[in-house]
Structure 1
Amino acid sequence: MIESITDSFIRKITRSLKRGKQAHRRLPNGGLLYIDRPLPFLVLFRHPAGHPDHATADFLKANASYIISHQERNEELRPLVQSIAKAMADEFGAFMIIELMAAPADTSEVPLFKVLGPEEQLPTTTQTIVKELQTIKLPGIHTSVETAPNEPLLQEPLCLMPEEELKKHSILMLGLQLKPVYKNNATGKVYPLLLRTLREKVANAIKKTVFDFVSVQTTHHPVHFQALGRQVVNRVAWRIDKQLTNISDQFRFLLLVTPVNNNEAWAEFQKAKYNKPPTFHYRLMPIDADQLKRKLYNISIEKVDDPTLGYLFRDKRHELDKMLTMLSDRNSPDFLYSSMQLFGIVDDQLLKVAEGILAAIPEPDAGKDTDIIPVPEFAALAEQEIAFLREQYPALDSGVDVREDVVGLIVSKGRLNVGTDARIPRHRAAALIQHEVGTHILTYYNGKAQPLQQLYIGSPGYEELQEGLAVLSEWLVGGLDQNRMRILAARVVAVYHLTKGCSFTDNFWRLKDEYKFDDETAWDVTMRVHRGGGLTKDAVYLRGLVHLLNYLKEGKELEPLLIGKIRQDYIPIVQELIYRNVLRPMPIRPRYLLDERIKPKLEQLKAGISVFNLL
């Protein structure tokens, strides 16, 4: 920490910026200068003399260029701000300074936001920040925005730059006063959730205002307002990303909640003439859930000052907490309640779609022989598809494992596990390979190619989009048959009745008697839905497909969804991180996006089709 802002210190900062580098320095009395890279704006906050206001200072840390000052006098701060402003105005043709301040805590009549701007100069920029602030909605708090002249910023004791200097160098000075609703007036105690929400919204309003200003007034033309955000991610964020990944990597959730005695349990169920629920056995628990939870909540996510990354990390921690609770409650009634929180329930609309599919598709011909592909042959085809992906991304270290303790097909940690007893119809082989390899393995390694590890371990709720994409890929390659659609619909119906208290045997008989599924299919669906104590995850296949078709109908692109294991509403977050150069372009594309013959189907999706059109 420096004791004073010297001429030499100011020259070093300015020289760094002129060379295109970042400037990140401590200032006297605990102040901070952070400029991510040369940018045509600066956000400023000055702590009130003798009364540090760390809550309001926190608003600045979401920006890519800011100064937080504890200087009680302007003699040292003024030359620093002037030197940065003039150098960047020369670089970009114009510059903008936004000074943030808190209204006095005891004034109840002040608006939530007060914008101080020049009365005549650049009214559109002032209008932009007013409009953006007006869109901020907070529960129980009225959003009021007023404007006033910026004269207080141009006069002592606040003046950092006289008006004639501002005009001479094309520098705009704005002030933004916040009503400190994020603090308790009497105690000064901060409301952390409100502060976090408001900080993120104010940061976006500032970026949009700067975007409007720089796009018109400067030579800097960012492609999007988010491109003005921070590009440098500090070491704390990367450490926390790694800590969350380490916890996630310590257990394989799906394998731990899937029975290891499927064949024996099926034989037991048959012997009881389908009237007594089977006994399931599970893998031994490789972790102590309580100890992992302690580690999880010892991770200091609150130290991440980037609002977007902070949101991602808190979201992931919440999901891991729920998963660990589910593993603790495995094979008990409480398992179901956490599953409903984590994977959701079946609403009336989804149930109606599922029942519509089951009504529309006739039951399969029981006497018809199905050509089953041998497991070694299927594994060889899957290995070929993995090799195709590896050609695009040599670091792809995947493969196929044929295992006795796996039922059907499961992708875990980027590898395809195939059960030795898996019965795969030959006409479905290509579709299932696109489902497992072209979606699940592909998104795992696209996520692994990113510096942010959350993209390969999976964002919370990623399963819905993942399975929607996987099922859609089956249709794109011509392997989504009616029987498959009946099974996806049956899973939704079984999950719905599970959450209404239906027993294993009742769900089995409903699928068999009412919907005419054969014994083994009814068993497979019921086992999957009731495993662990009741797993609602199987409803996400059809729900994800319905939501994905609606997304594509809006004219949105399929490709960005494959950047990693994300959920649909993460797309703006991913896009922001791409604009900020935190994320890289994805290296691997599935076969169906590269095949000219499939393009008409992709166009069909943009035109808008429903699940029933896929039949």
Structure 2
Amino acid sequence: MIESITDSFIRRVTKSLQRGKQVHRRLPDGGLVYIDRPLPFLILFRHPEGEPDYATADFVKATASYIISSHECNHQVRPLVQSIAKAMADEFGAFLIIELMASHEKEAPMFNILGPEKQLPATVKVLKDELESIKVSGIHSSVKTVSNEKLLQEPLCLMPEDELKKHAVLILGIELKPVYKNALTGAIYPLLQRTLRQKIADAIKKTAFDFMQVQGTQKPVHFQALGRRAVNRVVWRIDKQLTSISDQFRFLLLVTPVNNNEAWEEFKKSKYEKAPTFHYRLMPVDTDKLKRELYNISIEKVDDPTLAYLFRDKRHELDKMITMLSDRGKPDFLYSSMQLYGGVDSQLLKVAEGILAAIPEPTRDPDAELIPVPEFAALAEQEIAYLKQQHPGVNSGVDVRDDIIGLIVSEGRLNVGTDAKIPRSRAQALIQHEVGTHILTYFNGKAQPLQQLYIGSPGYEELQEGMAVLSEWLVGGLDQDRMRILAARVIAVHHLTKGSTFSENFWRLKDKYNFTHETAWDVTMRVHRGGGLTKDAVYLRGLVHLLDYLKQGHELEPLLIGKIRQDYIPIVQELIYRKVLRPVPLKPRYLQDDSIKPKLEQLKTGISVFNLL
């Protein structure tokens, strides 16, 4: 921290920006100047006389270019702001200064915009419209536009009017009613403050973006491109801490029985009436200690609203997973599963019932040739080699194991059960499902600096499985029996949440929907494992939602950046605009196959699940 803002300090800051560098320096009495890189705007907060207003000062920290000044230092900040404004106006053709302050008038609206009464009405209108669109906790924003005259007069004046005109600098003010503080005690409402902070930051970026489109010589490609690019050390530390906790357990393996064959024989002996006894892998973690470790991660120290949201969202998911592990085999397991993976709504249930009505009987030849497990493993290794050609960071392979049922991808490796029964006609479809989707998105995520993209955002399974099933259709291997099984899983999850027992779900699949004993067992086991796992409904739900997403004109390729859920796309796009995330290194084979392009075009015209049959 410096004792005063000297001329030499101002020159150093200005030269750093002119060289394209970041500025992050302490100012006297706890002040701060942070400018991520040369940018065409600056947000200013000056503490009022008397008690410092840290709660309002916190709002500017969500932006990429700001100064926070103590009251004692306010007169020293003026030449610093002037120097920055003139230098950046020279670079960008114009410069925008927005001063944020708290309003203490009892009858004040939510926001007062202090703007020029006649000049640049379009920029002021953008800010007004964006602030009016803010709705938080039932509070509807009221916005009033008043003159910025007081910003041009002492003691607030930053630059004389003739200097503003000469250097193409616009000064606006935002007076914010402190609804995020208790008026009597001064206590902060943290959730309201956090949400409002992000929305105001977006409003400011959109205003700066519009200002530059009209006034500037450089045109940003998107308003999010005006956000932060530099990510401070606390972000990487928290990202690593969350990943470390996630890496301490393999959730699906821990909730999948290790005695599947024995349990099946036990169920048969009971004439399919008595629920089998499942055994699971020993728990490798102390769930109480892991939860304590999880909530000791200080996510509140992250200034960046977008990254803080990602981290809080991931912590919430890990919390639920750890709770499920501690409740494994108990009734409470199901309730956490419904919170984590959701249940089955009426629309999804209708789709599942419609599929089973359209395909009432199995269609696959029971004598169809099965591919030997070693041969399937070799084909999967070939597909992994195809990924390795695109990106040297792919460190994957295939493990054939006797403690695995079917196929499971875990930590970027494909695990194949020694007893897996895979029809030869389905081999390529399953390879695209497991390798072309699950392994590919794992290593695409791992190629990013943010580890959350490979360990998985909360709820990523729905989009992942939707894409994986769609890839089966694209390569011509999504047969009717596969669709019947996806529908059966939804039916079983629905009745599980309604209280059906293991035996009731089994007999329903067998008698009502004409599944074989073995298939009914497999579906029922998957749904009832752990105490009731609703995850299996995400396959069909993810497919339905993905088809609707593509019908709206969106592209498939951006979804492959990592293990994300569909509503994370705007967040990912923001981080791409900010250059926090990198280009995707891996593409699945089907996106580069000319023979599959007609199917990709067909998806854009809009097709339903039933068209896939």
TM-score, structure 1 normalization: 0.99
Match of 1:535 in 2: 533
Deviations 1:395-419 (CA, angstroms, capped at 9, x unpaired)? 1000000000000000000000000
Correspondence 1:39-78 to 2 at 5 A: 39-72=39-72, 74-78=74-78
Q: Is the 8 A contact 1:236 1:304 kept in 2?
A: yes
Alpha-carbon distance between aligned partners in 1 of 2:352 and 2:305, rounded to the nearest angstrom: 39
Note the C-alpha offset of 1:76.
1.1
The aligned amino acid for 1:324 is: I
Q: Which one-letter code corresponds to 2:253 in the other structure?
A: L
Residue 313 of structure 1 and its aligned partner are, at CA, apart by 0.1
* Paired position in structure 2 for 1:209: 207
When residues 270 and 18 of structure 1 are mapped into structure 2, their CA distance, relative to the original with a 3 A threshold, is same
Question: In 2, are the aligned partners of 1:71 and 1:77 still within 8 Å (CA)?
Answer: no
1:32 alignment counterpart: 32
1:454-533 map, 5 Å: 454-533=452-531
From 369, 383, 386, the equivalent of 1:385 is 383
Q: What code does the residue aligned with 1:55 have?
A: A
CA separation in 2, counterparts of 1:228 and 1:590? 32
502-511 vs 359-368, which deviates more?
A: 359-368
- 8 Å Cα contact 1:48-1:72 kept in structure 2: no
- The residue that corresponds to 2:305 in the other structure is 307
Q: Tell me the SS of whatever aligns to 1:72.
A: helix
Q: Who is 1:175 aligned against? A: 173
Other-structure match for 1:318:
316
Query: Structure 2: how far apart are the matches of 1:102 and 1:398?
Result: 54
- Map residues 200-239 of structure 1 onto 2, 5 A cutoff: 200-239=198-237
In structure 2, the residue matched to 1:110 is 108
- Between the aligned partners of 2:358 and 2:364, the Cα distance in structure 1 is 18
Separation of aligned partners in 1, 2:96 and 2:331: 59
In the TM superposition, what is the alpha-carbon distance from 1:73 to its structure 2 partner? 5.2
Contact 2:363 2:480 in 1 (8 A): no
Match of 1:551 in 2: 549
One-letter code aligned to 2:244:
N
Size of the aligned set, in residue pairs, is 613
For residue 97 of structure 2, give the secondary structure of its aligned residue in structure 1: strand
CA deviation map 1:149-192 (0-9, x unaligned): 10000001111111111111110000000000000011110000
**In structure 2, what is the Cα distance between the partners aligned to 1:102 and 1:51?**
13
User: Structure 1 residue 74: deviation in Å?
Assistant: 3.9
| Distance in 2 separating the partners of 1:87 and 1:539 | 57
Partner of residue 93, structure 2 = 93
CA gap 1:29/1:428 in 2 versus in 1, 3 angstroms: same
Q: Greater shift after overlay, 270-279 or 449-458?
A: 270-279
- Name the CA distance, whole Å, in 1 between partners of 2:64 and 2:139: 28
Which residue is 1:132 aligned to? 130
Partner Cα separation in structure 1 for residue 389 and residue 46 of structure 2: 55
1:45-99 deviation line (CA, Å, top 9, x unaligned)? 0011221111111111111100000043543111100010011111111111000
1:370-401, CA deviations, whole angstroms, 9 ceiling, x for partnerless residues? Answer: 21000000000000000001100011000000
- Does the aligned pair in 1 maintain the 2:398–2:416 contact within 8 Å? yes
Is residue 360–residue 514 contact of structure 2 (8 Å, CA) maintained in 1?
no
Q: Does 1:83 align with 2:83?
A: yes
Cα separation, partners in 2 of 1:410 and 1:367, compared to 1, 3 Å: closer
Asked whether the equivalents of residues 74 and 160 of structure 1 are also in contact (C-alpha less than 8 Å), the reply is no
**1:97-147, Cα deviation, whole Å (9 max, x unpaired):** 00000001xx33100011000111111000110011111112232310000
Letter in 1 for 2:370: I
CA separation of 1:594 and 1:366: change in aligned 2, threshold 3 A: closer
Distance 1:265 1:78, change over 3 A: same
TM alignment of 1:308-347, pairs within 5 A: 308-347=306-345
* Secondary structure class of the residue paired with 2:140: coil
1:312-461 to structure 2, matched below 5 A, reads 312-364=310-362, 368-461=366-459
**Structure 1 counterpart of 2:548, one-letter code:** N
When residues 277 and 207 of structure 1 are mapped into structure 2, their CA distance, relative to the original with a 3 A threshold, is same
Report the residue type matching 2:466 in the other structure.
G
Post-superposition shift, 1:329?
Answer: 0.1
| 3-state SS in 2 of match to 1:424 | coil
Which shows bigger deviation, 137-146 or 24-33? Answer: 137-146
Q: Is the 8 A contact 2:134 2:140 kept in 1?
A: no
Partner secondary structure for residue 119 of structure 1: coil
* 1:483 positional shift: 0.2
Fraction of identical pairs, as percent: 79
User: CA 1:161 to 1:526, structure 2 compared with 1: closer, same or farther past 3 Å?
Assistant: same
Q: How many Å separate the matches in 1 of 2:181 and 2:364?
A: 68
Task: Give 3-state SS (helix, strand or coil) of 1:101's partner.
Answer: strand
Distance 2:231 2:393 in 1: 24
- How far apart, in 2, do the equivalents of 1:398 and 1:74 lie? 58
Which one-letter code corresponds to 1:52 in the other structure?
A: P
1:189-212: CA deviation from partner (whole Å, max 9, x where unpaired): 000000000000000000000000
Please tell me the residue identity of whatever aligns with 1:156. Answer: E
Tell me if structure 1 keeps the 8 A contact 2:46–2:74: no
